[in-house]
Amino acid sequence: MRFLAMIVAVWAFVTPLAAQDSGDIEDVIGQQLEAFLERDVDKAWTFASPMIQGMFGNAGNFGMMVQQGYPMVWDNRDATFLEQETGPGETLQKVFIRDAQGNGWVLLYAMIATDAGWKINGVTVIPAPDVSA
């Protein structure tokens, strides 16, 4: 009986933390998407992980990469947060997004927890399933 009570207590403690992490992750991604729409590349840069910042060196290079390589992020519309999966060292967040032309995309954000909060450690475009007969 004590064991069951301990499991319930741990679950009650962990569940709100997972929900908080989910909200925090969505907030970080949402703020970066908003920053790109406002063309505030310096602000968008603050949501990138140290690894991403090391790869691009400065906000200008990072912004140019996003504008050229991820136009659906640069001119994003209607972001909807989908499922989230936690793995070793990172949490993966799927996001459905519409680009400026109204086309839908699913992006997989790799998120890492840092001393400064959640940071975006990479974005992958998930290919649409083949629906041809």
pLDDT level of residue 2 (50, 70, 90 thresholds)? low
Give the global pTM. 0.80
pLDDT at 58 over 50: yes
Residues 61-76 have pLDDT tens digits of 999 999 999 999 999 9
**85-93 long-range contacts, CB within 8 A, separation 24+:** 86/18, 90/121, 91/21, 91/25, 91/118, 93/25, 93/26, 93/29
Among 14-23, 94-103, 122-131, the range with the most confident prediction by mean pLDDT is: 94-103
| 63 close to 38: Cβ distance less than 8 angstroms | no
114 pLDDT above the threshold of 50: yes
**Order of strands, edge to edge, in the sheet holding 90-98?**
77-87, 90-98, 104-114, 117-126
Percent of the chain with pLDDT over 70: 79
- How confident is the model at residue 68, as a pLDDT? 97
Rounded to a whole number, what is the distance in angstroms from the first to the last CA of the chain?
A: 56
Q: In sequence order, which residues have a C-beta less than 8 Å from that of residue 37 and are 6 or more positions away?
A: 75, 76
